């Protein structure tokens, strides 16, 4: 994205294709589950099934990292967990700030998966003075005025934007100016950033629209097609206002 993904054209980072990088976290998750069940080794076929991909693709992906498998046996789970973690840079701790503590921002702050993989919520930042000092997920919210100082003091290089769309670009500019070089954007806006800064976006609205497209297509085929399956018939409604509200977007 991804789907999502902001233009990183032909920049195959250190020879590892972008598509492969995007799948490594998937493998890592499956491997971690196996590790917790104390499974010692796993074949490409099994692991591929668990990760929901083709086994040939998985093997090719791993081949970019090196030859970590044993022919006739499979992959050592623990070893592979370590190798992938290292490749993804998860052996170190990444402090993260979340800007915009509304419904979504608070949900993100409460998300347990943060700490699990080397990410740590270093600070929560919001523009509303009334929020300042109020603890969310055990972390006191700080005011936007101190953004630069917070970034600097904590050595933050990854920022999460969960503000309304109108504020996103401005927040983004300040984050970048303060030294942030990776941004995860939940606001429904296209952010423009200088070279060297990575942006990934997560947009609920876009995801739903893509699903709607396919849904419509299915309905259309069904109508013209053979089997007269049950056609879903949604009622129509007045169009709602176009919210400038924080959102959730996909890579």
Partner DNA sequence: CCATCTTTGTGCACGCGTTCACAAAGACAT
Partner DNA sequence: ATGTCTTTGTGAACGCGTGCACAAAGATGG
By CB under 8 A, what part of segment 138-177 binds its own copies?
A: 154-158
Distance CA 146, CA 127 (A): 10
52 binds DNA (CB under 7 A): no
According to CB under 7 A, which residues from 17 to 36 bind DNA? Answer: 17-20
Q: Which of 29, 45, 94, 132 binds DNA (CB under 7 A)?
A: 45
Rounded least distance, CB 188 to its own copies, Å? 6
Contact yes or no for 104/162 (Cβ under 8 A)? yes
Does 54 belong to an annotated binding site?
no
Q: Which does 57 bind (CB under 5 to 8 A by kind): its own copies, DNA, none?
A: DNA
Longest dimension (CA), the chain: 65
Report d(CA 83, CA 99) in Å as an integer. Answer: 32
Residue 198 contacts residue 181 (beta carbons within 8 Å): yes
Task: Tell me if 192 contacts DNA by CB under 7 A.
Answer: no
User: Contact between 164 and DNA (CB under 7 A)?
Assistant: no
Task: Give the Cα separation of 5 and 251 in Å (integer).
Answer: 5
Residue 13 makes contact with its own copies by CB under 8 A:
yes
d(CA 241, CA 222): 32
Find the shortest distance in angstroms from Cβ 166 to DNA.
Answer: 27
Q: How many Cβ atoms are within 10 Å of 231's Cβ, its own excluded?
A: 9
Nearer to DNA (CB atom), residue 41 or residue 154:
41
Q: Is 105 known to sit in a ligand binding site?
A: yes
Q: Does 112 bind DNA (CB under 7 A)?
A: no
Contact 248, 204 (CB under 8 A): yes
For residue 53, the minimal CB distance to DNA (Å) is 7
Share of the chain residues as helix, strand and coil, in percent rounded to the nearest 5: 45, 15, 40
- Using CB under 7 A, list all residues that contact DNA: 7, 9-10, 12, 17-20, 43-45, 53-57, 59-60, 62-63, 67-75
């Amino acid at each position: 994205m991804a789907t999502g993904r902001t233009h990183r054209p032909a920049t195959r980072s250190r020879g590892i294709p972008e598509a492969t990088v995007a799948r490594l976290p998937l493998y890592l998750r499956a491997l971690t589950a196996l590790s917790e069940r104390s499974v010692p080794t796993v074949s490409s076929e099994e692991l591929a099934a668990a990760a929901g991909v083709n086994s040939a693709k998985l093997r090719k992906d791993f081949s970019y990292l090196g030859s970590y498998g044993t022919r006739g046996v499979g992959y050592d789970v623990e070893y592979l967990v370590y190798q992938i973690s290292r490749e993804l840079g998860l052996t170190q701790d990444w402090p993260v700030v979340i800007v915009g503590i509304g419904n979504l921002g608070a949900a993100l702050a409460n998300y347990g998966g943060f700490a699990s993989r080397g990410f740590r919520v270093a600070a929560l930042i919001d523009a509303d003075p009334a929020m300042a000092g109020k603890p969310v997920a055990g972390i006191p919210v700080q005011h936007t005025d101190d953004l630069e100082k917070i970034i600097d003091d904590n050595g933050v290089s990854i920022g999460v934007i969960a503000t309304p769309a109108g504020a996103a670009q401005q927040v983004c500019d300040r984050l970048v100016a303060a030294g942030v070089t990776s941004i995860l954007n939940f606001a429904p806006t296209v952010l423009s950033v200088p070279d060297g800064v990575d942006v990934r976006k997560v947009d609920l609205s876009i995801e739903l629209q893509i699903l709607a497209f396919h849904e419509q297509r299915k309905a259309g085929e069904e109508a013209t097609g053979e089997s007269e399956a049950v056609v879903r018939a949604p009622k129509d409604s007045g169009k709602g206002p176009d919210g400038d509200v924080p959102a959730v977007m996909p890579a």
